[in-house]
């Protein structure tokens, strides 16, 4: 019985050896030709951007600053102090002027404004200047 098992194993090994020899011959033919061509397909990833609508009331500080953007107030670049002065001039300022700078930062994060550090004209140091960004602002008129 053991002899039969050994003969069976030997035949299996011979068949595997024949298969490997055949594959080796095929590889040698390719190598002897001197060129191996490999084709690889690389997937292309397409990121789809969908617009996200954010509704902001003109009664809020955020909405009032957006109105200034639409009017071109930020086209030349403005500091937070200049924005506060304009809001006070129009009687649009919040009770606490501390909310203006975070609101400008929020509009910068949304892409409505761009923030750039500029050198002060007088004195040392630099200041943050806000300019109109590339975000398109649409107007929606509510009836209510």
pLDDT tens-digit readout, 73-84: 998 889 999 999
The dihedral sign for the CA sequence 67, 73, 76, 82: negative
End-to-end C-alpha distance for the chain, whole angstroms: 96
Q: State the angle between helix axes of 100-110 and 80-89 in degrees (0 to 180), rounded to the nearest 10.
A: 110
In angstroms, what CA-CA distances link 3 with 15, 16, 140? 18, 20, 91
Per-residue pLDDT of the chain (144 residues; tens, 9 = 90+): 688 888 888 999 999 999 999 888 888 887 777 766 778 888 888 888 887 777 888 888 888 898 899 889 998 889 999 999 999 999 887 777 888 899 999 999 888 899 998 888 777 888 889 998 877 776 767 655
What is the residue extent of each domain of the chain? 61-132
Phi, psi for residue 114 in degrees, rounded to 5: -115, 145
What predicted TM-score, i.e. pTM, was given to this entire model?
Answer: 0.58
- CATH number of this structure's domain 61-132: 1.10.10
Q: Which of 114, 19, 11, 98 is CA-nearest to residue 61? A: 98
């Amino acid at each position: 019985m053991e002899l039969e098992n050994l003969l069976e194993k030997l035949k299996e090994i011979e068949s595997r050896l024949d298969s490997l020899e055949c594959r080796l011959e095929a590889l040698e033919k390719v190598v002897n030709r001197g060129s191996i061509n490999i084709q690889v397909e690389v997937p292309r990833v397409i990121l789809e951007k969908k617009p996200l609508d954010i509704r902001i009331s003109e009664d809020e500080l955020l909405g009032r600053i957006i109105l200034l953007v639409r009017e071109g107030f930020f086209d030349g670049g403005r500091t937070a102090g200049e924005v506060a002065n304009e809001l006070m001039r129009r009687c649009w300022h919040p009770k606490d002027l501390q909310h203006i700078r975070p609101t400008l930062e929020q509009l910068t994060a949304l892409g409505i404004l761009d923030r750039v550090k500029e050198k002060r004209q007088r004195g040392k140091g630099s200041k943050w200047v806000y300019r109109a960004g590339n975000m398109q602002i649409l107007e929606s008129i509510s009836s209510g």
